[in-house]
Amino acid sequence: MATALTLEFGRTLVVDSFGETEVVETLAGTLRAFWILLVVGGVLFAGHRWYSQRQDGERLERTRALLDSFDELEVAVEGMPPPPTTFALPVGSARNPTEAAVFQLLPVPRYDSAMLLALTAALSDAAHSLRHPDTDRPAFGTAAELREQLLHDQILAVSGAYYYPTVRLAASEGSGVLAKPGWTAALYALVREHADRASARAVALGHPGHVARARAWFDGAEAELRDLVTGAISRGNLPTAVLPELIRLVDALDVYYGHDSRGDDLRALLIALDDMPKFPLHEALLRLRANPAADVPEHHRPLAWATAVAARRRHSLALEQLRDGGELDAIVRDLQRLWRLVPRADLSAEVCVLINLAVAELHRDGLEAAGDRLELALARTEDGRDPGGRVHATEIRGILHWMLGQQVAAIHDWQTAWTGYRDLADPRGQGRCLHHLGSALNATPALGAGAVAPEAGRPLRRDHVFRQARGWLTEAERLDPGNPVAPPPLPMGPPLPPMDRPPLDRPDPHLRIARRT
């Protein structure tokens, strides 16, 4: 605005000083066009920035509301009786044969109340909305009536908090049912309900204070989720609408697995489906998760999703070059282009690229540039945005401080990162930080003053610091065996002692979503 006013003042001054000649008029018009463009550009930039901040705030608010809605228990009660295996058979005059067959064919052996409500509502809607005019009206009018009839006719039985089909059918026994609208509606409702629950818990796995409950839920539900994916696919006649929900379910399991190989078989099942090419972006992401160097198309619509797919593929290639000792200058240039390519709404991907860009800068001794990248990553992850990315950036910043000779700052960063990894239940991250801390204190025991708790009633002594440091190295090897960042070998002597006390905590307040006052 100040520049625009200056240009307008200059235009007026030129006109007043030289009169309204043709040259002066041309120059004055040019200056006016410049300041108009400046004002319009400034307004557009301010509007875009306001809109982006509003979207970011809304995403954070949705995440906060999602986390606040959890009511899972952190631990399971032991000694509970096993689920029943035998039930009374259905009555001979059972009503609703199609709906009964659907429940007997669904690949999940039990349903809680919310799940049963979703299924009966889907079956009720299908029976009434998609009924052929020449067929009889259903024996039920509402989802609640259908539920009561299924229980009365002993199609379903109640045991504890769950409802069980009293008879299970193999896929070959219900081929006629698989082509009916009720099967499509019920299977979609079943997979979507499970995908919603799993996706929400996958988000919770990345936020301190919710990790234990989310992990406990996945521990209990993993086998059922895997059976649902494999069972839905093996039944045949998989409705096209169900496929994106199955992908969401597999993605949530992948987060629970820590992106290791345990989800490879599920991804392979999805990729092999005939309808998968109808969802090219989903297929590309599945192929990239199965093989980061996979050659996948990068030109799709919508453009933002296609850009995210292209960024992930190129990022994987850049990391492979970094691991193989490629040319660092070229790798840094590729990562810089990638950072501009990643959509700003994909915060975790942006932070991941910034961290790896900082690592590449550290490899070529670009310490100042690495610090800039890490500061930006930490600024982008304030107030509970991407806690995992923030902890990782803090760990790498500790390495930067160590390389700069700022040893106390490095110890503090590794303590903060260790505390964050512990709160996120990330054993490999904890192992790396214990490697850093143990190696540093083993080399310079004077740094233990802020990281090691002294023994009760005694001052902190050098031999106590050494003992704790070596215990941390032992625990690090247990948590993350074979880590390439392992400390240098120690002189020959007795085996390293086990860890008897962890490093002192240094919580990071920005790992949690701030409460609005």
pLDDT over threshold 50, residue 308: yes
CA dihedral (15, 20, 26, 31) in degrees, to 10, reads: 20
Please, are residues 194 and 188 in contact by the beta-carbon 8 Å criterion?
no
Q: Closest Cα to residue 435, out of 402, 480, 390, 392?
A: 480
- Burial grade of 482 (CB within 10 A; 0-12, 13-18, 19 or more): exposed
Q: Model pTM? A: 0.83
Lowest mean pLDDT among 20-29, 67-76, 111-120: 20-29
> How much is the pLDDT for 316?
85
What is the per-residue pLDDT for 515? 63
Burial (0-12, 13-18, 19+ Cβ within 10 Å), 50: exposed
Q: Which helix (H) or strand (E) holds 329?
A: helix 328-341
Query: Are the C-beta atoms of residues 4 and 38 closer than 8 Å to each other?
Result: yes
Is residue 300's pLDDT more than 70?
A: no
Structure tokens belonging to residue 492? 């020959």
* Bridge partners for 156 per DSSP: 165
Contact 263, 230 (CB under 8 A): no
Residues 189 and 402: their CA atoms lie apart, in Å, by 53
What are 73-82's contacts with CB under 8 Å, separation 24+? 73/213, 73/216, 74/212, 74/213, 74/216, 75/216, 76/216, 76/220
pLDDT over 70 (residue 298): no
pLDDT digits (tens, 9 = 90+) for 39-63: 777 777 777 677 777 776 777 788 8
What SS3 state is found at 96? coil
Q: Can you tell me the distance from the alpha carbon of 155 to that of 164, in angstroms, rounded to the nearest whole number?
A: 8
Name the amino acid, one letter, at 314. Answer: R
Contact 94, 155 (CB under 8 A): yes
**What integer pLDDT is reported at residue 488 of this predicted model?**
39
**DSSP codes, 344-408:** TT-HHHHHHHHHHHHHHHHHTT-HHHHHHHHHHHHHHTGGGSSHHHHHHHHHHHHHHHHHTT-HH
Distance from the Cα of residue 189 to its chain's centroid? 23
Question: Binning pLDDT at 50, 70 and 90, where does residue 429 land?
Answer: very high
Lowest mean pLDDT segment, chosen from 100-109, 225-234, 245-254, 317-326? 317-326
Residue 115's pLDDT is 94
Task: Judge residue 137's burial from the number of C-beta atoms within 10 Å of its C-beta, 0-12 exposed, 13-18 middle, 19 or more buried.
Answer: exposed
Strands 156-159 and 162-165: antiparallel
Asked whether 277 and 283 are in contact (CB, 8 A), the reply is yes
Rounded percentage of the chain residues whose pLDDT exceeds 90: 44
3-state DSSP assignment of residue 164: strand
Averaged pLDDT, 451-472: 88
Instruction: Please report the pLDDT score of residue 319 as a whole number.
Output: 87
| 283 residue type, one letter | E
471's enclosing H/E stretch is helix 462-479
Q: pLDDT per residue over 6-36, tens digit each? A: 655 555 665 556 556 666 567 666 766 766 7
Strands (E), 189-320: none
Look at phi and psi of residue 258 and say left if phi exceeds 0, alpha if psi is from -120 to 50, else beta.
Answer: left
Q: How far apart are CA 208 and CA 513, in angstroms?
A: 10
As a whole-number percent, the residues of the chain with pLDDT over 70 amount to 84
Residue 273 to residue 266: CA distance in whole angstroms = 11
Q: From CA 1, how far away is CA 15, in angstroms rounded?
A: 21
- Can you give the pLDDT at residue 14? 56
Alpha-carbon distance of 192 to 198, in angstroms, equals 10
Q: Is residue 249 within 8 Å of residue 273, measured between CB atoms?
A: no
Confidence of residue 491 (pLDDT cuts 50, 70, 90): very low
Q: Which of 361, 435, 441 is nearest to 395 (CA)?
A: 435
CA angle in degrees (0–180, nearest 5) for 262-265-266: 95
Confidence at residue 81, expressed as pLDDT on a 0 to 100 scale: 75
| CA nearest neighbour of 67 among 217, 222, 211, 225 | 211
Query: Average pLDDT for residues 477-491, to the nearest whole number?
Result: 60
> pLDDT (tens digit, 9 = 90+) per residue, 215-244?
989 998 999 999 999 999 988 778 899 999
